[in-house]
Structure 1
């Protein structure tokens, strides 16, 4: 048989394949082993049948060697590459498994040949799975970005996002970057989109969506937040995702999270603004919106809040936020109107009484004002209501003393400062839903630029903190330093330097 294999090798191959179909692998193996060592039938297809036969018999090492011969002879044979990678992984050779899954085509071929693009996608999908199981996250992201960029090719051109190679620690990796002067390869976006869809139909739309979500989350895990946001921006330009409202909303939340973590508050504001326009009554969105406007230091949210208030005049969060914006801008009467509206709808909220009282004090502190004493009395009436609702604690007494300090009634301010200084700071687990957090940017105090400012809510008025505030240091709810500093200013102005030094050394020196 060995002597006639060169002449009747095709018959041997037919018999061997018949044995394989019947599951008679032991009978097929001698025939295939004879053929692979012949000169005429030493072909890739014969080595493939030989590898399959050895694999079925459990000879993994020998099967991997035969699959290697197939890949060497036919480097574009996808199934052989996938089987070889699986065997190498099972044999404990992860590097050899990854080598079997290296790219088969160059970029030009992939852009022109749909069949080649589909094969490359299958290869990349297996490679990414293998890289993730090995914990090689940067290489895994390279594979994921390559796949996603094939799907979002047209969308990325519209978003002016491209993939570039960079060298990190001596290795080449892929990065998503924003390019201002990126020119599209095809001006007909619709035709390009349809052509790209034909190349990427290996996976269903839902599978592509899961790949996209996984890519965004993984970029976040490795703290590549800017690239995660660029990927979201590109996905928002993809018709199939954008036209699906639930998916579009999820992408918006991913984009918001990525921009906040990247400290790109300008872009984060754009995301939260769109979300609020769709759902103006969701308190969590207002909490995020207010935190972004405080952190970003931009003033463009003022007009947005006013326009939205015209459409939703009964929205409580908008009412209070517009009041805050007016207060910061020095429009005290406008702020008073907004705070009073909030006070009328929620009279038992101590924050509203505090805001109304402070607004009266700011109006009374202006240089030219009629009925100054009436404004002061009205301010104190609301402040006392705030103290009653809030209870006598370090925070409420500090705010009362701070108001007296601002009006120049220092002998009364000393009493409440000292009383507040004698009270312990609230423990985090004891903080209830009416606790206020520092927000120095919310108010400015006339004539006392160096004094600590009133304690105000730094989140939206609908914020209800949990029983224990996470991520806040214990000393952040302790006002003893602010109280001692303001009290020292009073003693310093009166010439009592000993008391000033004692307060500073006791409470303000680290």
Structure 2
């Protein structure tokens, strides 16, 4: 741009007299052409005064001589005398252009153009300057003004339509080209561009109509390119019958012995295939084998892709092999190998597809889907080791990845590759490799999901300063110091509204920052300047496995990961994953699946040494199922693992008793806790409440009987005998419900011994010894380790040893030492 203006300055001396004459006649050259005009006759007030004419002439001479500084004040005086005279502004624009003050040159030329809006040359000059400045809103404005000045200038209309197309305003571009066709109907380029633009904005019917009208009105001038475009639009509109008719029309209009061009032949094959007529396929294959199609590779490939899409894999294979036989670049050959492999895969010939996938990956190693498909084929063929080497290359382990880079992620870090490789490790029993591969990305993904959930819970999202600044840049085209500010910016109304809001937000942030700075300085504190994004929230990173929570297969993978971690005794890591999963919202993971993870988490937590992990799961289970006995059993097992009193347990138990007053397991556990603290009266109250709800429950009858007996042995109770009788009444009811089982007989005997009725106690102990009880399977505790030496020996359900020991104490105390010795020798010695 600078060189062209210097050249213009050098030519200024040669053309000085011509320019002077042109500028002197600038305001009157149009009046000379038209001697007779309509309307009121111009008055004397429109004539230039001699003083103004003299100043313009002097300024013109100074400009021609290169004395720009002397010409500028003279022209300024002329402007003050005649502010509506365009000559002064035009010369000022030329002067500032020669001085390379582009901004003032454009402003003065803009004023001159507005004072003489019919002068197209000025608008064209402004258009070129606006293009150099990149101010497309101003370009659009000047083009519109120039078209208004000269409506028949087809070049200006083409330029405006092209500008709309480059700015992505396809509707306006289509309308502009349509206007050109209205003025010049025979302009084929305008019609073609209008059809393309209407296609871009989704108005296929309108684009088709424009081309059909041209063919009908100018059949002799319509060439094959117009027909090709119209046929392609019919195909995109799924009007395959119309496309075939048009192709036949082209064939009939040409000589009979002349064959159709290859692109029309290919389009005919595609249309007929879409219509279900595959007879054309063989003819097309024969013509293709005999001819040359190097310049129409995309057309032939489109036909083959159509056959592949319509599941005609045999025809597609033949076409792909014909294309592969010709010389093309490596990328096209690799893509063809992928399509051939897909055809073989669809035909069920999986072993034939494997070499083609290998050939494709040799050129397209970043194709994730092809790599995953090939690994699946290798697994089906029993080549798991080969599949592992395909998904985990050794030469990429030391490559450093720039997280801030905009380049695509390497294939070995892809989510699909990691998932596929993890499944292979899992199926082969390579548990350590499975966990090492999939646990870090799963952990990070769940962490990002939790961050996103917390971020969405915020009431208002604040935009960073960088985003606000980007939006404000849209308003920079509206230059306040530019005399021409009336053109419309290249933006929609919504974008302009966002930009204005962003500008106000930035102003508020700057004002708030200044207030903080002033307050800090007044308080004598140091002020540290914030960065551009200091007020913005922390950016959430992209998860390494974005599709982890989208399908059931990945949910099963998460469950397998937790089970594998538990089998490897990595309980803390398994619980970390389960805790993150159970906190996910219901739209990410359903409630039923969460319960599965919670159940697994409870089992894992029971196996840990610290019962605090298990308590959370057991408590959550009880809250969801307050009347389930198994849930309360698991909860109570956890509570019993605490060596000291656990405060949370008592608060929670009290809460459950208040909320669920009819929960029998809660009553029994609360009574047991009172019994352990020797609060027998409170325990009896809890057991009796449970007895009212379930009077035929053997355990409740046993608990009530023992609580009443323990209460009777206290010091404050007055009617002790009545309480003992009531206790034994419940114990005999318990004995009846248990059908005089060995355990029930032993408990009754133990109660008699406890209150001192040793004669009755000895009678029931002898009944216990007379019963032979078989072993029953004991419920396996979650924290029980296989091979534990505490595992009971055979006969662990038989109470002979306990009953004999207590009976020998009774005999010994009564003086029957021989009986005592015989009992111990018979039942308590191996």
TM-score by length of 1: 0.69
Alignment counterpart, residue 484 of structure 1, candidates 799, 804, 811? 804
d(CA) in 2 for partners of 1:145, 1:293: 31
Partner of residue 127, structure 1? 421
CA contact (8 A) 2:357 2:370 kept: yes
CA contact (8 A) 2:441 2:545 kept: no
d(CA) in 2 for partners of 1:60, 1:383: 74
Partner of residue 447, structure 2? 153
Higher relative contact order (CA 8 A, sep 6+): 1
d(CA) in 2 for partners of 1:497, 1:355: 34
Partner of residue 367, structure 2? 77
d(CA) in 1 for partners of 2:813, 2:680: 29
Q: Does 1:116 align with 2:391?
A: no
Q: Does 1:319 align with 2:667?
A: yes
Written as runs of structure 1 = structure 2, the 5 A alignment for 1:362-377 is: 362-366=710-714, 370-377=718-725
Alignment counterpart, residue 764 of structure 2, candidates 405, 410, 416? 416
Name stretches of at least 5 consecutive residues in structure 2 with no aligned partner. 1-291, 308-314, 453-533, 782-790
- Number of paired residues? 431
d(CA) in 2 for partners of 1:314, 1:9: 85
CA contact (8 A) 1:241 1:247 kept: no
Q: Per the alignment, do residues 317 and 80 of structure 1 end up closer, same or farther by CA in structure 2, a change over 3 Å counting?
A: closer
d(CA) in 1 for partners of 2:586, 2:740: 58
Q: Does 1:46 align with 2:333?
A: yes
CA contact (8 A) 1:356 1:379 kept: yes
Q: Does 1:290 align with 2:636?
A: yes
d(CA) in 1 for partners of 2:612, 2:536: 29
CA offset digits 1:3-60 (Å, max 9, x no partner): xxxxx99759769857854646457547646759xxxx4x354345346547756998
Structure of higher CA gyration radius: 2
Partner of residue 169, structure 1? none
CA contact (8 A) 2:441 2:544 kept: no
CA contact (8 A) 1:398 1:420 kept: yes
Written as runs of structure 1 = structure 2, the 5 A alignment for 1:102-501 is: 102=392, 108-109=401-402, 116=409, 120-154=414-448, 195-196=541-542, 200-201=546-547, 204=550, 208-220=554-566, 225-239=571-585, 245-262=591-608, 264-297=610-643, 299-300=645-646, 301-366=649-714, 370-425=718-773, 428=776, 475-494=795-814, 496=816, 498-501=818-821
Q: Per the alignment, do residues 93 and 249 of structure 1 end up closer, same or farther by CA in structure 2, a change over 3 Å counting?
A: closer
CA contact (8 A) 1:155 1:235 kept: no
Name stretches of at least 5 consecutive residues in structure 1 with no aligned partner. 1-7, 159-186, 430-436, 439-457, 459-470
d(CA) in 1 for partners of 2:682, 2:761: 28
CA contact (8 A) 1:309 1:315 kept: yes
CA offset digits 1:309-367 (Å, max 9, x no partner): 12333322222221111001111111111122222333333333322221233234346
d(CA) in 2 for partners of 1:345, 1:62: 72
d(CA) in 2 for partners of 1:364, 1:93: 77
Partner of residue 823, structure 2? 503
Higher alpha-carbon deviation: 247-256 or 280-289: 247-256
Offset, 1:84: 3.8
Q: Per the alignment, do residues 419 and 45 of structure 1 end up closer, same or farther by CA in structure 2, a change over 3 Å counting?
A: same
d(CA) in 1 for partners of 2:596, 2:654: 27
CA offset digits 1:144-178 (Å, max 9, x no partner): 435523531335889xxxxxxxxxxxxxxxxxxxx
Q: Per the alignment, do residues 420 and 87 of structure 1 end up closer, same or farther by CA in structure 2, a change over 3 Å counting?
A: closer
CA offset digits 1:119-154 (Å, max 9, x no partner): 701212322333344443443444443552353133
Q: Per the alignment, do residues 78 and 389 of structure 1 end up closer, same or farther by CA in structure 2, a change over 3 Å counting?
A: closer
Q: Secondary structure at the match of 2:392?
A: coil
Q: Per the alignment, do residues 302 and 487 of structure 1 end up closer, same or farther by CA in structure 2, a change over 3 Å counting?
A: farther
Partner of residue 386, structure 2? 96
Higher alpha-carbon deviation: 378-387 or 202-211: 202-211
Higher alpha-carbon deviation: 229-238 or 110-119: 110-119
Q: Per the alignment, do residues 336 and 87 of structure 1 end up closer, same or farther by CA in structure 2, a change over 3 Å counting?
A: closer
